[in-house]
Amino acid sequence: MEEEKGKYINTEFGKVPSDWRYCTFKDVLITFSSGATPYRAIAEYYKGKIRWISSGELNYNVIYDTLEHISEAAIKNTNLKIHEPGTFLMAITGLEAEGTRGRCAIIGAPSTTNQSCLALNGTGKMTTDYLFWFYRQYGSYLAFKYCQGTKQQSYTAAIVKKLPICCPKDHQEQTAIATALSDTDALIASLDKKIAKKQQIKQGAMQQLLTGKKRLPGFGEGNKYKETEIGLIPDGWGVIKVGDAFQFLTTASFSRDQLGSVGNVQCLHYGDVHTKYDEFIDFNFVELPKVIGKRGLSYPLLRDGDIIMADASEDYTGLCKSVEIKNIGNKKAISGLHTILLRDRNDVFENGFKGYIFKINEVRKQLIELSTGMKVFGVSKKNLEQVFIPVPTKPEQCVIAQILTDMDKGIAQLQEERDKYIQLKAGMMQVLLTGKIRLMKN
C-alpha cells in the first residue's frame, strides 16, 4: 500500500483518506464462525424457544426474531453457538444468485444460525455497525471477485478473512458514518410504511366503491340492492361478462431480445405489466422498448382505455394483472408477449375507470376459480370471457375514478419522495464509505 502525495491512498475501492485503514477482514474483525442445521428427523429439536437464523432471513436488517426456533438439546448435540446482539451475519453459500450476493444482517437478540451464515464480531479497530454499511455497499462486488465454486459459489471463513476492507481508524467516525446512513434508511422505511398504509386504504376504498357497498353523495338514494351473479349490487347498476364488454385483439410475441431503443412502435411486455405498473400506464411518463423495424405495425395499435392483461403468473396475486392505457396521443404502441389486449366493445366503461375493475375481490375470486396450471397459473381467453364484472352508472364511474385517481396521486408523491431519499442514500454510501466526505474532523 503506497501513500499518494496529499491525503489519499489507492485501494481496491478507490481512493480513501491516508489516515484510514486499508486491510483485510481478519485484521479488524473476529469470530468467523458458521452454524449448522439440527437433524430434521428429530422433531423435538425444533420445539424450543432459541432463535435459529437461516440465510434467507438475511435481508439488510436487524433480526429480532426468527422463522424457526430450536431447543437446548439441538444446540448441545449440534455444537451450535448462541451469538449476542450486534453480531454481523453474511450469507456464504449460493452466492451465484443475484438475490443472495451481498446479503447481510445484524443480530438483534441472542440467536444461533445455520451453516449458510457466517458470524463476525467487531474489535477495537472496527464496529459491526460500520461493517454492516460497508458490506451493503461492496458485498456483491466482493462475492463476484472472491467467492469460489462452479455450480454453487460460496465463501469459507478462510476466504472471508482475506477480504479487503477500508475504514476510519477512529470508532467515533465509524459510528458517525453508520448513524447517518441508518437515519436515512429509517426515513425511507417510514415512507415505505406510509405508502403501504395509503395503498391499503385505497384497496379498501376500491373494494367498497366498485361493488356499491359504499355510495357517494348524490348517488344511491334509498340504498336499494339487487342479487346478481357476483352478489348484491345497487339498483341502477348492471353486471356484464368480460366477453360481452370487451373484444379480444391480437397481441405480438416479440421477445426482449427483439426489442430495443430504436424504432417507431413501442411494445408492452408482460413483465412490465407484472412489475412496473399498477392500474394505468400513462404514456406522458412512459417510454417502452421498441420493435426493431416495421414489424410492429402489423398488430393493433393501442388506444386510450385499452386494457392490457398478463396472461400468466407464478402466484394467484399476479393472476391476470391488468393495466389501462392513458394519454397515448400520437405515439404508436402494441401489446406484446404473453399479454391479452381488451378493448371496450359497447362503450360500457369510462376511460380512467377500467384500470380498477379487475382488482375487486368478487372478480379476483372468479379468476382464481377459472385458473389452471401447477407452477405457473393462467386463465384462458375462453374462461376470461365468462367472468362477471359490475357496471356502475357512467356518472358514478367518473366520480369513483376521480377519487381513486386522487389517492393514486397521493401515493405517487410519497413514492417520489421515497425514491429521492433512496438516491440520496446511494450517494451518501459512496462518499462516506470512501472518505470523500468526512463527518468528523481529523
pLDDT digits (tens, 9 = 90+) for 317-371: 888 999 999 999 999 999 999 999 999 998 999 999 999 999 999 999 999 999 9
The overall longest dimension of the chain from CA atoms, in Å, is 84
**How many Å apart are CA 117 and CA 36, to the nearest integer?**
9
As a whole number of angstroms, the distance between CA 263 and CA 257 comes to 14
Cell (9 digits) for 101: 450476493
Q: How confident is the model at residue 6 (pLDDT cuts 50, 70, 90)?
A: low
Q: Picking from 220-229, 300-309, 383-392, which range would have the lowest pLDDT averaged per residue?
A: 220-229
pLDDT in tens, 67-97: 999 999 999 999 999 999 999 999 999 888 8
| pLDDT tops 60 at residue 131 | yes
Q: Where are the beta strands (DSSP E) in 179-305?
A: 225-228, 231-234, 238-241, 246-249, 259-260, 265-268, 280-282, 290-291
Distance CA 365, CA 335 (A): 26
Q: From CA 237, how far away is CA 232, in angstroms rounded?
A: 10
**Torsions phi, psi for 365 (to 5 deg):** -60, -40
Name the pLDDT band for 441 (thresholds 50, 70, 90). low
DSSP state of 406: H
User: For domain 8-169, which architecture applies?
Assistant: Alpha-Beta Complex (3.90)
- Listed by start position, the domains of the chain span 8-169, 238-391
- Alpha carbons 332 and 295: distance in angstroms, whole number: 12
Domain covering 238-391: architecture: Alpha-Beta Complex (3.90)
DSSP state of 362: H
Report d(CA 388, CA 390) in Å as an integer: 7
Share the mean pLDDT of the chain: 93
Residue 195's SS3 state is helix
Amino acid in the structure at residue 149? G
The pLDDT-based confidence of 175 (bands split at 50, 70, 90) is very high
All three cell numbers of 96, joined, read: 451465484
- Domain 238-391 in the same topology as domain 8-169: yes
